[in-house]
Amino acid sequence: MKLNDAVFGALFLALSLLVLWTIQGYPKIPGQNIGPAAFPGIAASVLALCGLLLIVQGVRQRGRAPWFQRGEWTGRPPQLIAFAVTMLGLLLYVVASERLGFIATGIVMLTALMRALRVRWVSALGVAVVATVLIHVAFYKGLRVPLPWGVLPVLY
């Protein structure tokens, strides 16, 4: 599937404006020149500039490239199933991760996606468990991001 660059540029510009609007409410830190809004603001400004450049490029290409062109994969059931499993997995994470926890939800998501991609059960489950635990350790220990434990007891 291919969208004209102007479409993605408009999406990036909208996202950057949303971020810039959101960070206006971030608190200022007394005695600091750089507050919590500085880096998201810089990133959003760069994203807005890139979005504008994409819009200009997409408008220039409009006569040569269509606004939307369907990809070959959209007519193949295995790829459509994998796409649907990915979207349902993301929805599952949003809805169930607090209750089930990151590890349980991640294992279910990755196993389902790999099975949709026709990976054998043993391999899919093994990779899903190892990848989920490594991601959890990286976020929990390395980046100090508390991911939900859900049904599992706190192991650390």
**Which of 148, 126, 151, 123 has its CA nearest to residue 136?**
148
pLDDT at 32: 79
pLDDT of 36 strictly over 90: no
**Rounded CA gap, 33 and 86, in Å?**
42
Query: Could you give the percent of the chain with pLDDT greater than 70?
Result: 96
Structure confidence by residue, pLDDT tens digits, 58-88? 888 877 767 777 777 778 888 889 889 999 9
Indicate whether this model's pTM tops 0.85.
no
Taking 60 as the threshold, does the pLDDT of residue 104 lie above it? yes
